[in-house]
Amino acid sequence: MSQTLTIHSTANITVSPYQFERITEMQLVRPMNDHARITISGIVAEEMLDKYVEQLEAGDQIEVKLREKNKETIIFRGPVTNMRVEAVRDVRSLTIEAYSSTINMDVRKESRSFQNKQMSYPQLFQRVMAGYSKSDFIDNATGGKSIGSLLVQYQETDWMFLKRIASHFHAPLVPVSSHAGIKFYIGLPDTGQPVKLDEYNYTVHKDLRDYQLKAENGVDGIDEHNSMNYTVMSYVWVELGRAVQFHGRTLYVTRAESRIENDVVIHIYELKDRGGVQCRTAYCYELAGTSLFGEILDVANDKVKLRLQIDQDQPVNESMWFPYSTVYSSPDGSGWYCMPEVGDEVRLYFPDEREKNAFAASSVDKDSSDPARRSDPSVKSISTKYGKQVIFKPGSIEIIASGQLLMKLTDDGGIEINSDKKISLNAEEDIEITGGAKILLQGESGIEIVQANATMKIEDEVTLSGGRVNIE
């Protein structure tokens, strides 16, 4: 659709709650994947200068409008971030800097994980946005798809994280800077019929480098024609991301700058087609090589479930199974199988920037309830919570079960087996006992040797029995 051309001057600009006698400068920049920013300067009454500066508080908002005969168009709302007063001779000027409310999402860095593979992308966005009042978003990109694998927000602000997640669909975040509160689109807004721009002042260029980077990094279905960028100067106000009709093509506003030139408000738009708006998939490269500590929630086969320390809570039924790294493992089942127990602390290791490649590794030593076991670095041990141990000492190896069960192999004393239970030796073939010196068999109640129907029993006296007994 076309619009009646209206040229706005500085007299058509109103700023609330600040009263300018005359506006001298204004620059409003609205990019995709970033926050809108406005800087506005003007002459104010001398008695108002101190009042404005003294009463300014964090979170104070500014609203800028373009007035016409029959309507007002809000072009910016957002928190004031900077205010400056200048006095030159008898002229008092006030400069205000403000950002769109999305800047509030880009202050504090957070770390947390999202392990529920069934969670949809809109649900993830809602969970992140739950901490912000008067916030809303419209999802035009994900189609309600499930996240499908682990996602980790690692030392990222919520804005940085959501921008990265939107890039999974090659979609930008489009901030809305003309509404109160935090508002943005995921992907291009659906705003109906394109605005018709009949402008003669424009430039066009083809960014082949940008095209090559996209084509070689996962953005499918684009060609060199999508790298065409138009820069158009207009007097018509158009929202960021809005579709426009220009030179017979449907293009989209990917960046807008509004400023004052010769006392007239002009708007400079960068336009691309839908393919050109697509962005490359972003990754959290700071995550590569990082380990996050976590507590074992469940163990099965060679996999574990974790509650990471960066998370306040992690329901077991929503947690993911992670492979557990071992010293050696082979597809045929051979190797070292030694899984941690529920409650143990391990590390979740990220070998690269892709969260889906993470695996659990290396149980982490906690404060032991029996510190004596870990007091001598020369002694190595493998222990279970069931009281079973294998201990490697400088001069011996000990295998200990519960109770008085012990097998000890020492450099000096040979082999020692102690048990408060029965000891059984069974073999399908021969059992050989050979001693270079003497062999001692000692039993408190007796000794009995049996072969078929022949026996020798020693119980205070020696009894021999059999079909035939030879004594030589």
pLDDT digits (tens, 9 = 90+) for 343-357: 889 999 999 999 999
DSSP letters, 395-440, are TEEEEE-STT-EEEEETTTEEEEE-SS------SS------SS---
Q: Flag whether pLDDT at 129 surpasses 70.
A: yes
- Burial of 31 (C-beta count, 10 Å sphere; 0-12/13-18/19+): middle
Q: Flag whether pLDDT at 359 surpasses 90.
A: yes
> What integer is the mean pLDDT of 264-275?
94
Among 91-95, 176-180, 238-242, the minimum mean pLDDT is found in 91-95
Residue of 102, 109, 168, 92 whose CA lies nearest to 129: 102
Q: Calculate what percentage of the chain has a pLDDT beyond 70.
A: 96
- Residues 6+ positions from 116 with CB-CB distance below 8 Å: 147, 318, 319
> What integer is the mean pLDDT of 322-336?
77
Token digits for 104? 């509030």
pLDDT at res. 472: 72
What confidence tier does 454 reach under pLDDT thresholds 50, 70, 90? confident
- In three-state secondary structure terms, 57 is coil
pLDDT at res. 2: 45
pLDDT at res. 157: 97
Distance of alpha carbon 254 from alpha carbon 263, whole angstroms: 26
Neighbour tally for 61: CB within 10 Å: 15
DSSP letters, 328-340, are -B-TTS-B---PP
Among 88-97, 232-241, 264-273, the minimum mean pLDDT is found in 88-97
What confidence tier does 1 reach under pLDDT thresholds 50, 70, 90? very low
- In three-state secondary structure terms, 122 is helix
Residue of 151, 130, 154, 155 whose CA lies nearest to 142: 151
Q: What are 433's strand-pairing partners?
A: none
What confidence tier does 328 reach under pLDDT thresholds 50, 70, 90? low
Residue where the block lists tokens 């090589």: 289
